[in-house]
Each structure stands twice: as structure tokens, then as C-alpha cells.
């Protein structure tokens, strides 16, 4: 063993890539271990939205929404080929749980948190224009609101962030599986399999950004850090074989009132999601949509777009890491959590949960948490102005 890094990051999902980029921009020496491929985990199985998260206002997550809206604006600027502003429609029916005034109040607060500029504007669609809404059912329809948020390709965005980190000097080992680490007075010693060959390295700080594998990785760190109580929740999406919509529709599932997005997707298809089902398997890589989840999503499309003749052509499932709790899954906070093994000069930081949208701000915050453990280095760049380009 001879290689010394400032940070060793486990996982090249959006959080690992984001922390690697922020650290490399700060001038630190960074290694990243990814067992499979960049964005192989949750970061290719999300709803692919870069959004403030309108519905988090129902949980009063005002800080999260404000930050996500700020990051959305930044990403529209630094990643214009990867993040696209898109019209979103919210239909309100006689039977839906959220009334027209509640939706209007939520959108007003959303606009306020978005700084009231052009992308924060919303309006009520005139009744005379309803026929132009992709065949949206008008049975019981009372109002339709249009606002703006953004759509991305999550895997492409993650690859772009990882590439940016590499350009700044981060070293990506892939496929490289983290095996174990020992924390000592100078930092940590990491053992991994690099392309099947046993290897090791030293780092000042180990960053556990293994997404739904976070506690499996934590269990291999000695001495073992406390592991927060979490629940793994599966969210499934289906891809329909034809285009149902040109814009994004944010609807209430008639079955249980949960929010579901119906979105245009690549090659004239439609992406629909998501569900929330406790994941009980032992390996997150095995997550796959249940038949009942697929039928649930298809029923939502049939309710709102009864004229669409579509079939499910494929499906995928991602896993959310949520703090364990008594409140319903849908109501639990989506705020990211960091865990370190000690308050002062931590040698390990673990990332729990988080949003694709706020990865950059979250990465800067993670770096701040461990900065007292890192040597002083000359900053190379600022992540707020590093342009992100799609990779081939």
C-alpha cells in the first residue's frame, strides 16, 4: 500500500460523484470506488426531475424546497444540455383530495420560495384551452394549473458530474468493490477489490456514499460507527410504449391520493412513477417492480388519459433511504442526513437519503463537515460555475 488520498469516496452515484467533484474543486486528492458503473444504483432509477418538490411543502420542508429551487436555477445555467425547463400541469377534479385553493396556495408559496422570477410563475389554464391538454380527462375536472420545473436524465447528469471530478484530478476505480476500512489516528486504511484484485489505500476521510448500501458499507468499517435507523423504500416506474403526454402531469393516484408523475420520455415513450413499497430484500441491486406496482401506475394513466392505448414496455425500481419513523412513508422528510463517527475531526462521513436536485449544495455541506480533518489545499474551481456536459 502506498497511495495516500485526502478523501476516499465509496459509490459513484450522484452523491459520491458530487462530493468527489466538490472535493477535487477544493484542491483535495480524491479517490472514488464504484463496484459496478457510474449511476448504477438509485441515481439511474429516479423520477429524473430537477425540482423544488412542490409536495414537500405539505410537510413544511420549506428549507429543502427553497434550496432545491435555487439549485434547479443553477443547474439550468451550468448544465443546459442536461437539465431542461418543462411545463408541469396539475389537474384538480371534484374527487381529488387537494382542492383548487390548496393547489393555488401551494403554488403561490412555491413561487415565493423560487424568488418570483420568470420560472417561478404559474397560472390557471383557461377552460377553453383544456382540449389542448394531451387528452386529459375532463370528467369532473374543475381547474388545471400550469407551473415550471425541470427534467433531466439522472444517469447522464451523474456521469457528467463524475467526469467533471475526474477532470479536476479525482481518480475513479471501477469496477472496484469496497471491502473494509480501519479508522486510526491519522485517518483510515481502505481495502478493496480493484477489477477483482485485492488492493488498499490510505485516506484522511472515508466518505460512505453507497446509497441504499450505506449501512452494509458502514458495517465493514472498524471500529464500527453508529448506524442510524433507516428504512429502505422501493419506488417503481413504468415506461409505456407510446407518447401519452407532451408535458409533465402531476396527478393524484385515485387509489390512495399519492402524487404520481406522468412524463414524456426518450424515443416517444412515457415515464410514470412512482410507488412507495417497503423493500425487504437483502441486496438493493435486486430491487424490481412488483406486478401490483405496475398495475397501480397503469391505472393512474388510464384514469387521467382514458383515450391512451398504451402498454408497459419496461420498468425499473429505485430505493430511497428514509429515516425510520412512525409517520407514513409519504409524509417523511426527504432531507439528507450526514453521520460522522465523532464530532471533532471525523474520519468517516456517511450520507443518508438526499435529492438528485440538491446534490451540489449537499456535497459542499458534506465537505464542510469534514474540512477540519483535511489538510489545507489550494482551491482549483467553484462547482457553481463548472459547466456539466453530457458524456458519450
- Ranked by CB distance to ligand FAD, the top (closest) residue is 13
Least CB distance to ligand FAD at residue 279 (A): 10
Determine, following the binding rule CB under 6 A, whether residue 160 of this chain makes contact with ligand FAD. no
Determine, following the binding rule CB under 6 A, whether residue 10 of this chain makes contact with ligand FAD. yes
Determine, following the binding rule CB under 6 A, whether residue 211 of this chain makes contact with ligand FAD. yes
Residue selected from 7, 11, 149, 348 as contacting ligand FAD according to rule CB under 6 A: 11
Looking at residue 202, the DSSP 8-state letter turns out to be E
**Total of residues contacting ligand FAD (CB under 6 A):** 37
Helix or strand or coil: residue 242?
coil
Neighbouring C-alpha atoms within 13 Å toward the C-beta of 274:
19
Give the CA-trace dihedral at 153, 145, 113, 149, to 10 degrees: 10
Least CB distance to ligand FAD at residue 315 (A): 12
Which part of the chain contacts ligand FAD (CB under 6 A), choosing from 73-81, 317-325, 372-380, 384-392? Answer: 317-325
Query: By rule CB under 6 A, what string of x and - marks binding of each residue 162-181 to ligand FAD?
Result: ---------------xx---
Looking at residue 125, the DSSP 8-state letter turns out to be P
Distance CA 23, CA 367 (A): 7
Q: Which residues of 168-205 are buried (b: 16+ CB within 10 A; e: fewer)?
A: bebbbbbebbbeebebeeebbbbbbbeeeeebebbbbb
For residue 59, give the nearest of 343, 296, 322 by alpha carbon.
Answer: 322
Determine, following the binding rule CB under 6 A, whether residue 183 of this chain makes contact with ligand FAD. no
Residue selected from 6, 22, 42, 96 as contacting ligand FAD according to rule CB under 6 A: 42
Residue selected from 269, 315, 340, 357 as contacting ligand FAD according to rule CB under 6 A: 357
Which part of the chain contacts ligand FAD (CB under 6 A), choosing from 37-45, 122-130, 196-204, 368-376? Answer: 37-45
Which part of the chain contacts ligand FAD (CB under 6 A), choosing from 8-16, 131-139, 159-167, 249-257? Answer: 8-16
Which part of the chain contacts ligand FAD (CB under 6 A), choosing from 12-20, 106-114, 262-270, 306-314? Answer: 12-20
Determine, following the binding rule CB under 6 A, whether residue 16 of this chain makes contact with ligand FAD. yes
Q: Is-contact 199 189, C-beta < 8 A?
A: no
Least CB distance to ligand FAD at residue 270 (A): 16
Q: What is 321-355 written as a DSSP string?
A: EEE--SS-GGGS----EEEES-SSS-SEEEEE---
Distance CA 336, CA 328 (A): 18
Residue selected from 20, 26, 30, 47 as contacting ligand FAD according to rule CB under 6 A: 47
Tell me whether residue 114 or residue 318 sits nearer to ligand FAD (CB atom).
318
Q: Please name every residue paired with 148 in a beta bridge, in sequence order, or none if there are none.
A: 87
Residue 247's H or E segment, with its range, is none
Residues in contact with ligand FAD by the rule CB under 6 A: 10-16, 33-36, 40-43, 46-49, 177-178, 209-213, 217, 235, 274, 318-320, 351, 354-357
Amino acid at each position: 500500500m502506498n497511495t495516500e488520498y485526502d478523501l476516499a469516496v465509496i459509490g459513484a452515484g450522484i452523491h459520491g460523484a458530487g462530493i468527489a467533484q466538490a472535493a477535487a474543486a477544493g484542491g483535495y486528492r480524491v479517490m472514488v470506488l464504484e463496484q459496478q458503473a457510474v449511476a448504477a444504483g438509485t441515481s439511474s432509477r429516479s423520477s429524473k426531475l430537477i425540482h423544488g418538490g412542490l409536495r414537500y411543502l405539505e410537510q413544511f420542508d420549506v428549507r429543502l424546497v427553497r434550496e432545491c429551487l435555487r439549485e434547479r436555477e443553477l443547474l439550468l445555467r451550468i448544465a443546459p444540455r442536461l437539465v431542461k425547463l418543462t411545463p408541469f400541469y396539475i389537474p384538480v377534479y371534484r374527487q381529488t383530495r387537494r382542492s383548487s385553493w390548496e393547489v393555488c396556495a401551494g403554488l403561490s408559496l412555491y413561487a415565493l420560495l423560487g424568488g418570483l422570477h420568470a420560472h417561478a410563475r404559474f397560472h390557471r389554464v383557461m377552460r377553453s384551452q383544456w382540449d389542448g391538454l394531451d387528452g386529459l380527462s375532463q370528467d369532473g375536472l374543475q381547474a388545471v394549473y400550469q407551473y415550471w420545473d425541470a427534467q433531466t436524465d439522472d444517469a447522464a447528469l451523474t456521469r457528467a458530474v463524475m467526469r467533471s471530478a475526474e477532470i479536476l484530478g479525482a481518480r475513479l476505480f471501477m469496477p472496484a468493490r469496497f471491502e473494509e476500512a480501519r479508522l486510526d489516528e491519522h485517518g483510515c486504511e481502505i481495502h478493496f477489490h480493484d477489477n477483482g484484485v485485492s488492493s488498499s489505500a490510505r485516506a484522511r476521510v472515508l466518505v460512505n456514499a453507497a446509497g441504499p448500501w450505506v449501512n452494509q458499507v458502514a458495517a465493514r468499517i472498524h471500529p464500527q460507527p453508529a448506524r442510524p435507523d433507516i428504512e429502505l423504500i422501493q419506488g417503481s416506474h413504468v415506461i409505456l410504449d407510446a407518447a401519452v403526454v407532451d408535458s409533465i402531469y402531476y396527478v393524484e393516484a385515485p387509489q390512495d391520493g399519492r402524487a404520481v408523475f406522468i412524463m414524456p420520455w426518450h424515443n416517444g415513450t412515457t415515464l410514470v412513477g412512482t410507488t412507495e413499497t417497503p423493500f425487504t430484500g437483502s441486496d438493493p441491486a435486486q430491487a424490481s417492480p412488483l406486478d401490483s406496482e405496475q398495475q397501480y401506475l397503469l391505472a393512474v394513466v388510464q384514469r387521467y388519459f382514458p383515450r391512451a392505448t398504451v402498454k408497459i414496455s419496461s420498468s425499473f425500481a429505485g430505493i430511497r433511504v428514509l429515516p425510520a419513523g412512525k409517520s407514513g412513508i409519504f409524509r417523511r422528510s426527504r432531507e439528507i442526513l450526514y453521520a460522522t463517527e465523532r464530532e471533532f475531526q471525523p474520519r468517516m462521513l456517511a450520507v443518508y437519503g438526499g435529492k438528485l436536485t440538491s446534490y451540489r449544495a449537499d456535497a459542499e455541506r458534506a465537505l464542510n463537515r469534514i474540512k477540519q480533518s483535511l489538510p489545507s489545499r489550494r482551491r482549483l474551481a467553484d462547482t457553481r460555475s463548472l459547466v456539466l456536459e453530457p458524456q458519450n
